[in-house]
Chain A
Amino acid sequence: MNGNELSIAIRNCLGEFTTYSEELGDLDQALGDGDLGITVSLGAAAAAEALNALPETATPSEVVLACAKAFANANPSTMAALVAGALLAGSRVWGDTPSIEGEQIGRFALAAAESISQRGKSQVGDKTILDAMFPAAEALLATDAGESGLDAAIVAAENGVIASKELQSRRGRASWLQERSIGLQDPGATAYLRFLQSWKATNAPVDASTATPSA
Chain B
Amino acid sequence: MKKIINEPAAFVDEFVEGILLAHPDLLKTPADDRRVLVRADAPVAGKVGIVTGGGSGHLPLFKGYVGRGLCDGVAIGNVFSSPSSAQVLEATKAVSGGAGVLYLYGNYGGDVFNFDLATDMAELEGIPTLTAIGRDDVASQPKERSADRRGVAGILFAFKGAGAAAERGDTLEQVAAVAEDIIDNTATMGIGISPTILPTTGKPSFELGDGEMEVGIGIHGEPGFHRGELESADRIAERLTERLVADLGIGSGDRVAVLVNGMGATPLEELYLLFRRVHQLLSEQGITISKNYIGEYATSLEMAGASISLLALNDERLALLNAPAESPFFKEA
Q: Are B121 and A81 in contact (CB under 8 A)?
A: no
Whether, in the assembled complex, A65 has its beta carbon less than 8 Å from a beta carbon of chain B, the answer is yes
Whether, in the assembled complex, B56 has its beta carbon less than 8 Å from a beta carbon of chain A, the answer is no
Q: B96-124: contact bitstring with A at CB < 8 Å (1 yes, 0 no)?
A: 00000000000001100110110011001
Q: A67-82: contact bitstring with B at CB < 8 Å (1 yes, 0 no)?
A: 0010011001110011
Q: Are A72 and B110 in contact (CB under 8 A)?
A: no
Q: Are B120 and A88 in contact (CB under 8 A)?
A: yes
Q: A69 to chain B: which residues have CB within 8 Å? A: 86, 121
Whether, in the assembled complex, A189 has its beta carbon less than 8 Å from a beta carbon of chain B, the answer is no
- A82's nearest neighbour on chain B, judged by CB, is B113
Most chain B CB neighbours (cut-off 10 Å) among A69, A73, A81: A81
Q: Are B85 and A65 in contact (CB under 8 A)?
A: no
Whether, in the assembled complex, A180 has its beta carbon less than 8 Å from a beta carbon of chain B, the answer is no
- B115's nearest neighbour on chain A, judged by CB, is A81
Q: Are B85 and A119 in contact (CB under 8 A)?
A: no
Q: Are A84 and B116 in contact (CB under 8 A)?
A: no
Q: Which of B83, B86, B109, B120 contacts A78 (CB 8 A)?
A: B109
Q: B114 to chain A: which residues have CB within 8 Å? A: 76, 81
Q: B124 to chain A: which residues have CB within 8 Å? A: 65, 88
Chain B's nearest CB lies how many Å from the CB of A118?
Answer: 9
**A65-B124, A69-B121, A88-B121 given as contacts; is B116 within 8 A of A76 (CB)?**
no
Interface size on B (CB < 8 Å)? 14
Q: B109 to chain A: which residues have CB within 8 Å? A: 78
Q: A89 to chain B: which residues have CB within 8 Å? A: 120
Chain A's nearest CB lies how many Å from the CB of B279?
Answer: 41
Interface size on A (CB < 8 Å)? 14
Q: B116 to chain A: which residues have CB within 8 Å? A: 81, 85, 119
Whether, in the assembled complex, B82 has its beta carbon less than 8 Å from a beta carbon of chain A, the answer is yes
Q: A73 to chain B: which residues have CB within 8 Å? A: 84-86
**A78-B109, A78-B110 given as contacts; is B120 within 8 A of A85 (CB)?**
yes
Q: Are B84 and A85 in contact (CB under 8 A)?
A: no
**A119, B82: Cα distance in complex, Å:** 16
Q: A82 to chain B: which residues have CB within 8 Å? A: 113
Q: Which of B82, B83, B85, B110 contacts A84 (CB 8 A)?
A: B85
Q: A85 to chain B: which residues have CB within 8 Å? A: 113, 116-117, 120
Chain A's nearest CB lies how many Å from the CB of B120?
Answer: 5
- B120's nearest neighbour on chain A, judged by CB, is A88
Task: List 21 interface pairs A-B (beta carbons < 8 Å), by A numbering.
Answer: A65-B124, A72-B84, A72-B86, A73-B85, A73-B86, A76-B82, A76-B83, A76-B85, A76-B110, A77-B110, A78-B109, A78-B110, A81-B85, A81-B114, A81-B117, A82-B113, A84-B117, A85-B113, A85-B116, A85-B120, A88-B121
Binding site for B on A (CB under 8 A): 65, 69, 72-73, 76-78, 81-82, 84-85, 88-89, 119
10 additional contacts, CB 8 Å, given A73-B85, A89-B120?
Answer: A72-B85, A72-B86, A76-B82, A77-B110, A81-B116, A81-B117, A84-B117, A85-B113, A85-B116, A85-B120
